[in-house]
Amino acid sequence: MLPNIRTALCLLAAMFLAASAFSQATDPVAESNAIITERMALLEDQRGPAETYTYGAITDDANNRELFRVASKISDLTGLDFVALASIQQLGGEVDLYAVAMTLPDDLPGRDEMLQILARSRLRHFEPYYYEAYFKDYPQDDTAAFSQVVADEAWLAFREEYGDLSDTDPEALAEKYPAAKKAADLTGLDIVPLSGILAVGGYDGLSKLLMVLPEELPGKHEAIGEVADERKKNR
């Protein structure tokens, strides 16, 4: 009788292990974490451990989450491991992070929003061809409205990476960022995204944003000239 009990227990243990393995294999979060951990390990083999100048090795703490805001947001959104996400971003850049995110299971919770966040982050580089692809499905019959959408999305990309402005009052922004005020007056765009991009992207960032806006936008080239003048004044 005892051998039969032992056999039954062994069978139960095997069934439990098999069920556990099957559960992990079909759990999109566990499967996704395995994928990003493998990618992190490959990058570390190629380029060394993921470290930052300020905090050293990347850990899941408040300092690193402040430094890697996008990775932190994605981690909270999907349940993915923050350290793996931040390490991939540090070693491979946002393109590598987006590439591995594209390979994750379709049923991963928050996957679509995650991909949207990562796609939006590329707007910070002001690549005209990328803007054309990113905004191709947005209505463009109203130039002013379309330009505002472009400015808002670009500012959101910066805000997700660096955080919000400390003050969004238009009058306060006009006083603090005269170049943004002049650009807003000339184009009719909201001063908040223009100020935000100027604050974190500098005059170069604001100029590049204006350049990728539609040629039909009234005041576009005058605004570019005003930003260039303000840059010269503040050298």
Domains of the chain: which residue ranges?
A: 28-122, 128-233
Please determine, for residue 230, whether its predicted confidence score (pLDDT) is greater than 90.
yes
Q: Which residues pair with 57 in a beta bridge?
A: 51
57 phi/psi in degrees, rounded to 5: -60, 140
DSSP characters for 50-113? -EETTTEE--SSHHHHHHSHHHHHHHHHH---HHHHHHHHHHHHHHHHHHHHHTS-TTSTTHHH
Nearest-angstrom CA–CA distance, 188 and 182? 10
pLDDT, position 234: 85
Q: Tell me the pLDDT of the chain averaged across its residues.
A: 91
Q: Which is higher by pLDDT, 1 or 124?
A: 124
pLDDT range class, residue 118, cuts 50, 70, 90? very high
Please, how many CA atoms are within 13 Å of residue 42, restricted to the half-sphere of its CB?
A: 9
Kindly state the average pLDDT of the residues 116-141: 96
Please determine, for residue 200, whether its predicted confidence score (pLDDT) is greater than 60.
yes
